[in-house]
Chains A and B, each alone.
Chain A
Amino acid sequence: MKPYASWKYVVLVLALVFGALYSAPNIYGDDPSVQVTMESGDPLPADFGDIVAKALEARKLVPIASGVEDGHWVVRLPDTDAQLQASEQLKRELGRGYVVALSSASKTPGWLRAIGAKPMNLGLDLRGGVHFLLEVDLDEVNKKAVQRIITDVPAFLRKEDVRYTGRREASGAAVLEFADAATLDEARKLIARNFPEYALTVPANSPTQLQIALSQQEAKRIVDFAVQQNLTTLRSRVNQLGVAEPLVQRQGVNRIVVQLPGVQDTTRVKELLGATATLEYRAVDEADAYSAAASGITPAGTELFYTREDRRPVLLKREIIAGGDNLVDAAATVDEQGGPAVSVVLDGAAAKRMFAFTERNVGKPMAVLFKEREVVTNYNAQGVAIREHRDVEEIISIASIRGVFGKRFQTTGLSSKEAHDLALLLKAGALAAPVEIVEERTVGPSLGADNIRRGIAAAVLGMALVALFMVVYYRVFGLFAVAALLMNTVLVAAILSLLQATLTMPGIAGIVLHLGIAVDANVLIYERIREELRNGMKPHAAIEAGYERAFLTIADANITVLIATMTLFALGAGPIKGFAITLAIGIVCSQFTAIVGSRALAQLFFAKRPLKDVPVW
């Protein structure tokens, strides 16, 4: 028997070491822990360790460890009771501005973490939690636009003294009728100049009709803005929930995925996600707001509000210059002097009101009022849920009007953080399009734990059955196959951990299924060896021939399975991707372990022994 190239042994040993190291974090388990971050995403204060230590000491809680891990402050506690107490205590002591969340921190030792070894991510179906898919309603975007067109454009034409003979709404567009083609043409030019965001068409069969709808780019922009705006609001609301590893992410054109591991109270989550916010641009009344606040009597035509930052009373005029649904865009930017600013774009109607207002009020202050309606569920003494609405109305910005403006303007004189925050709040208050929940998947913690237990039980039983079968059938070679299979499983676990792929129940099913498919490579080889022996080959030659001749067959067979798995990965939804990825990694690993791994063992065992027969049966 030819000696087996020593580099192959080296590769094998390296693969084994790699597999052992990177799959190891999965067996250490977790500490119950509390995770703290700043709501704003800023770094924690320098003396944060002392603050936490003092807070915990007050309740006689002794943490196992307390310090920064992966960018969060993590307090590890001995049991879940202490975890809950610590979380409550920290929430109370730290107050607003901090996100305190229950989490579980892996017990993986530091030297393993230092080389990047982490346990696998568990999917929501294994750890419990909620998954929401939200969708921005495109039809609604169009409908609202058409309604706006049907009021704005005729008003504009009347002002320009262009006469139309009728207006109506038809199949997703506003339709204006004119007496003749010449008037239509005039109107068309005017509209195109003043409302570039609209697409104008004249149907071939009726030359006196003008159809006005949102242009493609404009519709796309509105949806983009709506999705961005919702991402912003959802992120900040999710922070209020205190979830350790929340995921709020755009999916496709008009969808947002929200995943909150460990959260069970879906009613509260839905209320939070559904809370509506809007904003209003209003003029500031310069009468004495403090005396109005003290007496409770406000001058006619004004209302009293407070600023968000320092709770200062301010009187605002009742007239709304622009509302949240007039806001087309808002973004943090820099002004001409290079200072931080927020640029705002209004739609046509509000731009005209803004123009008229600023023309008369240069130098005077204007405020942005932020209104949010939250639904809160409380339980009364009988445990019956009571839903209460809570209105939050706060002034988020006051700025003086520097000049006359309409559609586009900037708010300046802010710090860069203020500019950023204001832009976010403006977006949050812009009701560009309604969002609805189109998918929800909630898994309770007990079901998650059950799923893990069942998955492991099925994997262990499957492995044991296959191992028994292979050893009974192929004897020593069966042992090689089992060794290859074990190595394969360790490698799959290591790669999944390293990729930080998410393990789901279908993923576990994929691993279990692959245990069965992976032995196929060995079966092909061993049957080939038997065959070569029958054909009169010498034992050593038969072993070599078996491994060599089976190679291409195994590769061919595996590639077709890979084609099916890749399709699955490309087109499947969340949990299915998990299945596809585990199966694919398993197949690639099995090609290696069955051919290189089990062959190396065969070589070690038989190369130096004189063989009369191969103990393959």
Chain B
Amino acid sequence: MKIFAKVPNINFMAQRKTGLWGSGILTVVAILLIAFHGLNFGIDFTGGVLVEVSYPQPVELEEVRSELGEAGYHNAMVQHFGSASALLIRLPPAKEASTAEVSSQVLNALHAKDKGIELRRIEFVGPQVGEELFNDGGLALLVAFIGIAVYIMFRFEWKFSVGAVAAVVHDVIMVLGFLALFDIEFDITTLAAILALMGYSNNETIVIFDRVRENLIGERRSDVLDVVNLSVNQTLLRSIITHVATSLVLIALLTLGGATVHSFSAALLFGVIVATYSSIYISTNLAVALGVSREDLLPPQDKEIDEMP
């Protein structure tokens, strides 16, 4: 099967200014969304109590709310989870009652009215643990950024490194914006998705960089922009196919994987689209804008030869 009969010849770099501006504006919008709308942090980060139970028959939310109200939990958030007979109850972290006792008492209160309920899951996270996770998560993101930047600097050159890190930062911000926009819960599994996305996004970038380097060294005459365009076109099919394959498994995970991996797969599904885009219009684009040249990439001894008239 062929998508293109021959290597496509799309002038990606013609839109490079538009691409940078557009991405810049979208990134700012995403940051504003995160700042003002906020991320829907899960209990992993905020602390609090979460109880999932299933009833033998469908239940009314109001009934359960009043049962819990009687037990003294007026601020309990009760919602259906997956089906009408499954419930998710959340309690915000309370200063005075922030102990593991709360989950037991909630269960007892529910048990008093209906013997048939089955416990599916209890999660209690103390505020100190949530805060730590938050800090560790931030640290993990930072260390991953630095690790990637150093590796690319070592394997390529600093201009590429700047481009690659910018693309990764862009992708992470866009996905966070997406999660904020659709109020998708951000829990520790979602954080894992973001870190996995950083790897994926870089993967995309490196494949193009690799080709740019090969072509810059191999095809001496052409202009840098032409070489970049050629490289993007040469790797375009591979990007599309890998993107499709990854999206296919993510769709499988999103549809069959259940609630635990829902936000994980949603974040990644959106993330891989952004990553494919940013590998062209941000990382490569930025490296070009910073003035990547053939001389930057040549091994030292070749450089001397090249510079001779």
Contact status of A571 and B199, CB under 8 A, knowing A270-B100, A523-B238: no
Q: For the complex formed, measure the closest distance between the CB of B155 and the CB atoms of chain A, giving whole angstroms.
A: 6
Residues of B within 8 A of A63 (CB): none
16 of the cross-chain contacts (CB-CB < 8 Å) are: A385-B108, A438-B126, A439-B125, A440-B100, A446-B118, A458-B257, A461-B256, A506-B192, A516-B242, A517-B203, A531-B234, A560-B206, A561-B203, A563-B199, A564-B199, A576-B189
A606 contacts chain B at the CB level, 8 A cutoff: no
Contact status of A523 and B242, CB under 8 A, knowing A509-B257, A509-B265, A571-B136: yes
Interface pair B121/A442, CB less than 8 Å apart = yes
Extra contacts, 12 of them, besides A439-B129, A465-B248 (Cβ < 8 A), are: A444-B119, A447-B52, A458-B255, A458-B257, A510-B192, A517-B246, A520-B238, A553-B206, A557-B203, A568-B144, A568-B192, A575-B189
Task: Name the contact of B120 in the complex, choosing from A444, A556, A563, A617 (C-beta under 8 A).
Answer: A444
Within 8 A of A (CB), among B212-254: 234-235, 237-238, 241-242, 244-253
B157 contacts chain A at the CB level, 8 A cutoff: no
Interface pair B249/A466, CB less than 8 Å apart = yes
Residues of B within 8 A of A75 (CB): none
Q: For the complex formed, measure the closest distance between the CB of B198 and the CB atoms of chain A, giving whole angstroms.
A: 5
Q: Is the interface of A mostly helix, strand, loop or mixed?
A: helix
Residues of B within 8 A of A470 (CB): 245
Contact status of A515 and B249, CB under 8 A, knowing A563-B147, A575-B189: yes
Interface pair A442/B122, CB less than 8 Å apart = yes
Task: Name the contact of B104 in the complex, choosing from A266, A517, A552 (C-beta under 8 A).
Answer: A266
Interface pair A520/B203, CB less than 8 Å apart = yes
Residues of A within 8 A of B238 (CB): 520, 523-524, 527
Task: Name the contact of A472 in the complex, choosing from B1, B139, B188, B191 (C-beta under 8 A).
Answer: B1
A612 contacts chain B at the CB level, 8 A cutoff: no
Interface pair B250/A516, CB less than 8 Å apart = yes
Q: For the complex formed, measure the closest distance between the CB of A377 and the CB atoms of chain B, giving whole angstroms.
A: 9
A297–B265 Cα distance when bound, in Å, is: 73
Within 8 A of A (CB), among B74-105: 99-101, 103-104
Chain B residue nearest to A385 in the complex (CB): B108
Binds B, one of A166-174, A215-223, A391-399, A448-456: A448-456
A531–B2 Cα distance when bound, in Å, is: 12
Residues of B within 8 A of A580 (CB): 192
Chain A residue nearest to B124 in the complex (CB): A440
Interface pair A516/B249, CB less than 8 Å apart = yes
Q: Which 3 A-B pairs have the closest CB atoms?
A: A561-B199, A516-B246, A438-B126
Interface pair B200/A466, CB less than 8 Å apart = no
A534 contacts chain B at the CB level, 8 A cutoff: yes
Interface pair A564/B119, CB less than 8 Å apart = no
Interface pair A447/B120, CB less than 8 Å apart = yes
Interface pair A583/B196, CB less than 8 Å apart = yes
A480 contacts chain B at the CB level, 8 A cutoff: no
A560–B283 Cα distance when bound, in Å, is: 15
Within 8 A of B (CB), among A326-346: none
Interface pair A524/B121, CB less than 8 Å apart = no
- Interface size bracket, B side: 35 or more
Interface pair B119/A560, CB less than 8 Å apart = no
A125 contacts chain B at the CB level, 8 A cutoff: yes
Interface pair A509/B253, CB less than 8 Å apart = yes
A469 contacts chain B at the CB level, 8 A cutoff: yes
Task: Name the contact of A437 in the complex, choosing from B99, B206, B268 (C-beta under 8 A).
Answer: B99
Interface pair A556/B121, CB less than 8 Å apart = no
A386–B124 Cα distance when bound, in Å, is: 23
Within 8 A of A (CB), among B101-149: 101, 103-104, 107-108, 111-112, 115, 118-126, 128-129, 133, 136-137, 139-140, 143-144, 147-148
Contact status of A564 and B148, CB under 8 A, knowing A573-B188, A617-B2: yes
A267 contacts chain B at the CB level, 8 A cutoff: yes
- Interface size bracket, A side: 35 or more
Interface pair A527/B151, CB less than 8 Å apart = no
A463–B199 Cα distance when bound, in Å, is: 21
B260 contacts chain A at the CB level, 8 A cutoff: yes
Q: For the complex formed, measure the closest distance between the CB of A597 and the CB atoms of chain B, giving whole angstroms.
A: 17
Residues of A within 8 A of B129 (CB): 133, 438-439
Chain B residue nearest to A506 in the complex (CB): B189
A436 contacts chain B at the CB level, 8 A cutoff: yes
A24 contacts chain B at the CB level, 8 A cutoff: no
A14 contacts chain B at the CB level, 8 A cutoff: no
Interface pair B103/A567, CB less than 8 Å apart = no
A385–B99 Cα distance when bound, in Å, is: 19
Chain A residue nearest to B2 in the complex (CB): A617
A55 contacts chain B at the CB level, 8 A cutoff: no
Among B115, B235, B238: residue with most chain A CB under 10 A: B238
Q: For the complex formed, measure the closest distance between the CB of B148 and the CB atoms of chain A, giving whole angstroms.
A: 6
Residues of B within 8 A of A561 (CB): 196, 199-200, 202-203
Contact status of A513 and B250, CB under 8 A, knowing A534-B7, A552-B210: yes
Q: For the complex formed, measure the closest distance between the CB of A237 and the CB atoms of chain B, giving whole angstroms.
A: 16
Residues of A within 8 A of B255 (CB): 458, 461
Interface pair A560/B151, CB less than 8 Å apart = yes
Q: For the complex formed, measure the closest distance between the CB of B4 and the CB atoms of chain A, giving whole angstroms.
A: 10
A135 contacts chain B at the CB level, 8 A cutoff: yes
B169 contacts chain A at the CB level, 8 A cutoff: no
Contact status of A444 and B118, CB under 8 A, knowing A270-B101, A564-B198: yes
Within 8 A of B (CB), among A497-531: 505-506, 508-510, 512-513, 515-517, 519-520, 523-524, 527, 531
Contact status of A556 and B189, CB under 8 A, knowing A438-B126, A440-B123, A571-B140: no
Within 8 A of A (CB), among B135-190: 136-137, 139-140, 143-144, 147-148, 151-152, 155, 188-189
Residues of A within 8 A of B206 (CB): 553, 556-557, 560
